[in-house]
Amino acid sequence: MINVTKPNLPNIDEYIDILKGIWERNWLTNNGPLVNELEMNLKGYLNLDHLLYLNNGTIAIQIALKALELNVGSEIITTPFSYVATTSSIVWEGYKPVFVDVDASTFNINPKIIEEAITDKTTAILATHVFGNPCDIEAIAKIAEKYNLKVIYDAAHCFGTKYDGKSVFSYGDVSTTSFHATKLFHTIEGGAVFTTNPALLKKMAHMRNFGHDGPEDFECIGINGKNSEFHAAMGICNLRMVTEILASRKELTSFYNNYLKNRLQTVCITTGADFNYAYYPVVFESEEVLLKCVSALNKNYIYPRRYFYPSLNTLKYIDYQVCSNSEAIAKKVLCLPLFYGLRKEDVDFICRILLRSLNY
């Protein structure tokens, strides 16, 4: 069986060796030494000054929204093509999502039509770097400056992606990411927030720990966004392998490209980006063709995923807004298996089935 992804697990003895220290210290959570070690290691690897390790990527978005003190009930411009957590976080925190359609080639929010959606109630832009492919960061920054808007990037797919020579996490007022087991770098469950603003970082640090400022004082409203020593231990081990993981995914993507690049639409990587090869999405001629190919793959115990379906502007708890590109892509896009440990022979097998289903 070949799934769309397979979590990387480090050498078990290496992981257990780190776990022994947890037993010796009897310190399981609450900003333990391994959490601090992971944060320092991540800052070193990513060449960033500030980040906070959290328990998941959804909490990361929610903390970012809360920390920026946006007007309750205000409008946040966002993308309809992302995982549901992007939209759900906006609604959960009491804001109204205003969807701006995506560019049909990059799958990212189209900055050319963002201004059309801005009203006197707009307070922020929450954009997703879809599949690890950076948005048009400069264009979004100019719009935000012109209208005095905050920018949050959902960079859940972006570990290892660079833009203009810097980690993509360094852009926006706050950038968020996920370290879920499905990601190329994971801590089983986990996430992080990033900012270049030290005061904002301090505020979010309070927020991830119920607002605590010492054992008996509370600086602000907070939530339980902490993560455990066990999760941090997994991250410490996996970070040691991340260069090898990224290289493997790049090579596997090249294998896919040899078969499919001129036969199926793939994502157009943004100029100036150093891509992390987080996913391998392909877009079919129609939903009918997609379903035919999925059926053929499933019969051979291959299980791709329809990332991202449905288009978020069609969710039941959202006032529908037309986003024709996103709706069309969501019906026709499929992410093929891509993970560390996938073999070239597996890619060959997957592509042969696809091409046969497409009558090539």
pLDDT of residue 2: 98
pLDDT of residue 358: 94
Report phi then psi at 314, rounded to 5.
-105, 5
52: left (phi over 0), alpha (psi -120 to 50) or beta: beta
Q: What is the pLDDT of residues 121-141, one digit of tens each?
A: 999 999 999 999 999 999 999
| Strand 75-78 relative to strand 302-303, pairing | unpaired
User: How many CA atoms lie less than 13 Å away from 74 in the CB half-sphere?
Assistant: 20
CATH topology of domain 2-100+109-239: Aspartate Aminotransferase; domain 2 (3.40.640)
Let me know if the fold of 2-100+109-239 is the same as that of 243-357: no
pLDDT of residue 196: 97
Dump strand ranges (E) for the chain: 2-3, 51-54, 75-78, 96-99, 122-128, 150-154, 162-163, 166-167, 174-178, 191-194, 265-266, 273-274, 280-283, 302-303, 333-336
Under-70 pLDDT residues of the chain: none
pLDDT of residue 217: 85
Pick the CATH number of 243-357 from 3.30.428.10, 1.10.357.10, 3.90.1150.10, 3.40.50.720: 3.90.1150.10
Q: What is the pLDDT of residues 303-324, one digit of tens each?
A: 999 999 999 999 999 999 999 9
CB 57 within 8 A of CB 84: no
Q: What is the pLDDT of residues 156-208, one digit of tens each?
A: 999 999 999 999 999 999 999 999 999 999 999 999 999 999 999 999 999 99
In the chain, where are the structural domains located? Answer: 2-100+109-239, 243-357
Q: Which residue has the tokens 């078990």?
A: 12
**Cα(236)–Cα(230) distance, rounded to whole angstroms?**
10
CB 243 within 8 A of CB 91: no
